[in-house]
Amino acid sequence: MADEKAPVEKVRPALFRAEGTAADPNHPALLGGRCAACGFVCFPMQTYGCEACGSTAMEPYAISGRGRLSAFARVHVHAGGGREAPFTVGSIALDDGGVVRALIDRGSEDALTHDAAMVAVLVRESRPGRGEHDLRFALASKEA
């Protein structure tokens, strides 16, 4: 169990940064990993070994916040605390590799379609102890 007085960074390691990548400098980057042996990209970064080839040569890798929406669902009743329903979650196949499941920005929810172009955006975090910003995905044409 995490020490209750530990800084947020230790309890909830950084999963994204506001600065983008060379491929997409205008949107936040996800902090993932890439296998030095085969190039497989994962998110979040992990050191257990590559899911594709089993190598333990995983390196930190900043993943572009661009991708395509492969699935989405509207949550009307949420059993967990800290997030008020309704909200939408989606699976985004990232252009750099890997798939993430993330919250969809409220301004994009009504226009979602399968295979829609998505981009990572930062929104103000309203939950205490979670940092200043949180990451969402929005339709590329409705960037926040």
Domain boundaries, the chain: 19-142
Q: What's the Cα-to-Cα distance from 77 to each of 9, 88, 102, rounded to whole Å?
A: 30, 11, 17
Q: How far apart are CA 26 and CA 16, in angstroms?
A: 14
Residue with tokens 């089993």: 54
Tens of each residue's pLDDT in the chain, 144 residues: 344 443 434 334 688 999 999 989 999 999 999 999 999 999 999 889 999 999 999 999 999 999 999 999 999 888 776 778 889 999 999 999 889 999 999 888 888 999 999 999 998 776 656 666 788 999 997 654
Q: How far apart are CA 131 and CA 144, in angstroms?
A: 19
Predicted structure pTM score? 0.80
Q: How far apart are CA 21 and CA 23, in angstroms?
A: 5
Residue with tokens 């205008």: 26
Residue with tokens 């506001």: 18
Question: Could you please report the per-residue DSSP string of 34-45?
Answer: EETTT--EESS-
SS (H, E, C) 66-122: EEEEEEEEEECCCCCCCCCCCEEEEEEEECCCCEEEEEECHHHHHHCCCCCEEEEEE
